[in-house]
Amino acid sequence: MTTQDYPAQKTYIWQHPGWPKLVFEAGALANDLNLAHLQQGRLLGLLDAIGLSDSQEIARELWVQEAMATAAIEGEKLDLAAVRSSVAHRLGLADAPTHDRHVDGLVQVMQDATNGYQAVLDSDRLCRWQSALFPGGTSGLRRIAVGRLRDHTDPMQIVSGRLGHEVVHYTAPPSSRVAVEMQQFLAWFEATRPAHTQVNGTPPRVATPGINGIARAAIAHLWFESIHPFEDGNGRLGRAIVDMALAQDLGSPARMFGMSRQLLASRVAYYDALSQAQSGTPADSLDVTPWVQWFVQAFTNGCIQSQAVVKQAVDKAAFRLRASSCSINERQTKVLNRLLEAGSSELGGGFLGGMSAEKYSKIAGASKATATRDLADLLSKGLLRVEGIGKATRYAVNVEGWSRPRAS
């Protein structure tokens, strides 16, 4: 299949004569990039100010949220307990990973992208990442090509809509071009590696001047998604490449910026921004300034949300310290931990419907009378606050800034 097989009325960015030389106006992005670095600095400052135990909990929470989000963007809902188990294992906080190979494969990819940020990103590494996402070689019930670049003759298209009324949003380069396209992309990714990163102990390279690290991550994501080199998993791999690029920029194996979580929160705008850039808008141009600007703003918002996650983790640690001095029993500790694990509703968490005596009884395995006494005791010690009266009475952990329970 050749590029002439594609509809004449639709021009995609890869069909531009100058492709893949994507450009953006650095001056137009100066204010956005300054704000992004400001919020990035604030986040890093918060992390530097906390202790080791708190930082481990925060690392786990951010990683879990990112894994859940990158899958959710593709319409997948992962088992939260399985993700937490796999992440805890990768952080050395648990002896064994989850038995869910699908979840563990995704977590392994995320770990390799960030912990291995100094290693070269090549085709073999990407193929191993893609294979890890699909243990058994299936996506749902559908068999797919894993561990290799796509080679099917049918167009690789981004499509929405019901059967018979599909809307084609984007058509990627034909499979016959993918290998060459990826060679160009991977060569660029290595050539623009920040100067402070090294490969296998070799002397630092001289980085290409003038490209901001966050903007580089934006370009890398757009370029990779435009090639769409695999039969499935391109979105998750593209976001792993973003994580790797940001870790290279920072010079640290960090995944705390919350990009996948932010992209999920603004999924429609994310798809629209990508589609607009991939469609060569404005027409006949490789100027992707609007996309880079959107990405940088999303990065800024991700940093702000991650700051809230850090604060929540610190709040949890302080609450547990306070609770430990209040002589509470095992039942109360178990329920308080469940409430803390649910988190604050401001971050999309919160214990669904709030804690009631009936729910306490089921969680703690206690009678209704015992549950009522335990709750009253926690309330008197200032560890819980109460809302409502009678059958509508609901309890929540008494942490300043955490709002009322999430509605059922």
Q: Which helix (H) or strand (E) element contains residue 159? A: strand 157-160
As a whole number of angstroms, the distance between CA 238 and CA 221 comes to 5
SS3 call for 356: coil
Bridge-based pairing of strands 157-160 and 167-171 is antiparallel
What pTM does this model have? Answer: 0.83
Structure-block tokens of residue 249: 């920029």
Per-residue pLDDT, averaged over 137-159, amounts to 85
Which amino acid makes up residue 235? G
Bridge-based pairing of strands 394-397 and 384-387 is antiparallel
160 pairs with which residues across the strands?
A: 167
Q: Radius of gyration (Cα) for the chain, nearest Å?
A: 24
Confidence of residue 400 (pLDDT cuts 50, 70, 90): confident
Q: Which helix (H) or strand (E) element contains residue 139? A: strand 138-139
170 pairs with which residues across the strands?
A: 158
Domains assigned to the chain? 3-310 (1.10.3290.10), 326-397 (1.10.10.10)
As a whole number of angstroms, the distance between CA 262 and CA 325 comes to 37
Nearest Cα neighbor of 316 from 399, 403, 401, 404 is 399
When mean pLDDT is compared across 56-60, 200-204, 238-242, 290-294, the lowest value belongs to 200-204
Residue 281 is predicted with a pLDDT of 60
Residue with tokens 């530097």: 48
Kindly list the distances between the CA atom of residue 50 and the CA atoms of 43, 150, 255, 320, 380, in Å, as whole numbers in the listed order.
11, 45, 17, 16, 30
Q: Are 374 and 332 in contact (CB under 8 A)?
A: yes
Residues contacting 271, CB < 8 A, separation 6+: 169
Confidence of residue 313 (pLDDT cuts 50, 70, 90): confident
Count of beta carbons in the 10 Å neighbourhood of residue 370: 16
Confidence of residue 138 (pLDDT cuts 50, 70, 90): confident
Residue 213 is predicted with a pLDDT of 96
Confidence of residue 94 (pLDDT cuts 50, 70, 90): confident
SS3 call for 395: strand
Query: Can you state the percent helix, strand and coil of the chain, rounding each to 5?
Result: 55, 5, 40
Residue 210 is predicted with a pLDDT of 61
41 pLDDT higher than 50: yes
Confidence of residue 312 (pLDDT cuts 50, 70, 90): confident
62: exposed, middle or buried (C-beta count within 10 Å: 0-12, 13-18, 19+)? buried
Phi and psi (nearest 5°) for 38?
-65, -50
As a whole number of angstroms, the distance between CA 100 and CA 92 comes to 18
Q: Are 86 and 107 in contact (CB under 8 A)?
A: yes
Residue 204 is predicted with a pLDDT of 46
Half-sphere exposure of 353 (CA within 13 A, CB side): 8
Distance of CA 200 to the CA centre of its chain: 28
Distance of CA 317 to the CA centre of its chain: 24
